Structure 1
Amino acid sequence: SGVSMAAELRLANGSTHCEGRVEVAHNGTWAALCDEGWSLAEAQVVCRQLGCGRALSAPGGSHFGQGPRQMRLDSVSCVGTETALSVCKTKPRGNGTCHHGKEAGVVCAGNSENDQVRLVNYGSRCAGRVEIFHNAQWGTVCDDNWDLLDAEVVCRQLDCGRALSAPGGGQFGRGDGIIWMDETNCTGSESTLSACRARPWGINNCYHGEDAGVVCSVVSSFAPVRLVDGPGRCAGRVEVFHNEKWGTVCDDSWDFMDAKVVCRQLDCGTVVLAPRRARFGQGQGPIWLDNVNCMGTEAALSECRAKGWGVHGCEHGEDASVVCSGNHRPSSEALRLVNGPHHCAGRVEVFHNKQWGTICDDGWDLNDAAVVCRQLGCGMAVSAPGLSGFGQGSGPIWLDGVSCRGTEATLTECPAKPWSHHTCNHVEDAGVVCSGNP
């Protein structure tokens, strides 16, 4: 792997700090990268890692001049979604194929250092509390006037697709340090958040309970997965939905870590087997993924390192499979969303003691909503409305003070007050809007 490239990365000999010859720290000195196999995918990762926006081009042939004496002899291969070049795959190359005159370069759209923005506290770079870098310090943004137009600019700046929601009220936790922006008023077309109209830097009448957040569309773009031709929904041949088609996964390097992610994504418990060689029969259509290499902690199979979509040297006799311990949805029957436009949005109700009841909105936030959406197979949480946004329920108020981390498999795993202990009424019934509409 390319772990040795994690330490430092720089662009040399460009007209700005966001373009130039790509150099990495290697054995205490700087080394250039070879342009063999160098493409926009690798350039995008470099630009993202350096906070330089999106990649515009990936020139080779020493476009930015010849670099240091040393050159790395391994080639880098990225999907393009990685957060750092060190995460990309590397493979050795013979001495003769890489020499001066073949250095790789990038040209990024560019963000000045003070334009940098990030989303934190949600476990995804494309959703979380908004933080902006100004005057050598990260700070938050107040939610006064915060709306989808502002969120749209953040999502574009981070190359995260479109804005799905713009939650305020510290729903991604309270930041610390300075509150840099207040009364932000973007038109939606700005290239950076700092280009939007707002009060002067650091001038506000806010506290961190008003920290603004963003959920972008890329965060909900995990490719759906299913297990087919097995004895139940939790065992079978792995198929992934991409480009409007279901396709299979090649078994090259397929192992328990990869299977673990599939079982988690499907709420199917733990891994029992990770069979290869089309154990559950050969699939049809495209082979979407090959050389899948999961750490085991990813939320979806499409988040794992792999070759590019559809890039493989396989046939369907190598289709990968999974057998998980569960063969039914764990307790999704005990949870429902009602009074919404579809079954992936609405007032949250839980089944307890042979009766449906509601949840109080005290402390209700996107981490709690994320667990509900995952449990129901409804994708990611887009918003977590309180104050009976989907109407007032009836019957008991079962839960109050729910405080999920966001990684739990079911809502009942989350800390909360004991069943039916609350100081609420149905005006405070909690709701959820998920990204999916299956």
Structure 2
Amino acid sequence: MHRNLSDYSLGVFADSALPHLAQVRLLNSPSRCAGRVEVIHNQQWGTVCDDGWNITNAGVVCKQLGCGTALSAPGWARFGQGSGPIWLDEVDCTGTEASLSECRAKPWGDHNCHHREDASVVCSGNPHPSLLTQLRLVNSSSRCAGRVEVFHNKKWGTVCNDSWDLQDAGVVCRQLDCGTALSTPAGVHFGRGSDHIWLGNVNCTGTEAALSQCRARPWGDNNCTHEEDAGVVCSDSGNSEKTSLRLVNGPSRCAGRVEVLHNQQWGTVCDDDWNLQDANVVCRQLGCGTALSAPGAAHFGRGSDPIWLDDVHCIGTEAALSDCRARPWGNYNCHHGEDAGVVCSAQHLGPLRLVNGPNRCAGRVEVLHSQLWGTVCDDSWDLAEARVVCRQLGCGTALSAPGGARFGRGTDPIWLDNLHCTGTEAALSYCRARPWGIHNCNHGEDASVVKETE
């Protein structure tokens, strides 16, 4: 149905004083300078086909809208499929045009496309944080190495490794401020994801500010399995072997059974000669302070994978456990009843996490007690408490301390109520509060934290 131009008075218009230049708008994005490209013709808005769509064409759109320069020119309906006519196809701009309608193209409405090919633009002007930040690397001891995950529709999901290369990985590393890309490990080097596979056939030019600006299939459209989850190792992650360390089956990430990654498989360490000196190297490598104890005899349960290291002998100054003297990888005379463990000083700060938020520094506050994660009541909850949470998690400054289950209701125990922090404490567990589990709240009062945007 044709509509009068006045029906679109709230749209993003350009060149409104120049009727001979077709108006253009960008839709379905939180930023006015990014989205699906639409042009108006015969008093009706329609889309542009991505055949031949490139950064030069996108640059004309950005200039026409006063949105700076083009960062990327995604196709494949990156910002959703339109529902009106497809007005332009095989657009070919020189880059000097004042309007997209001045570029060479097929006649208006003449195309061989469908809306799955709708063209989009991401411009440098008027950025929106959600276009740049929803990204993380997981299942590695370094924040700069791991399985690539992106946040979409309020859920984290993986990226398929079809066409995944160092150019794509370079965008990830730059977005996370992790230096340059060293490798894109094949297979499930960093484990299989369990949630949605959000992106497939990612194809970055390498100049994008965020992975979400690269050309790819529409969100959720892929023919992959989690066996094909993409991974990245960035230059700031350190030696990849040095970062492949974790503590499992303990009360926090700083206490548990020692496991190392070798040949793309996690395995344990034998407790022969295992001592505080060895444990100290583990704690320092993981950023967990100093070692309080070095329990052996599978104190944190028996592992089920290979036993990778035996007769480990650290002098205590090594940067990583893999730098210590030991038998060759996989050469041992142990069984899993001798798996080594570590308890680091940082674990006594009280296990803490933020969940159901867009990143690890925003979400519902949860603490671990009696081997169960539970929530914190928002009674008396304010920025002083939120500052302690952000400091404890290494998340910088707290922006706000929302209550009222801003990031959803928890389902486990409510562990803490009436918290009173001065704001200088090293951990939330150091603040005054009612005894663990004593409260007069419900999960509609779960406390949350949001970190200040950098």
Compute the TM-score of the two structures, normalised by the length of structure 2: 0.32
Q: Max radius of gyration: which structure? A: 2
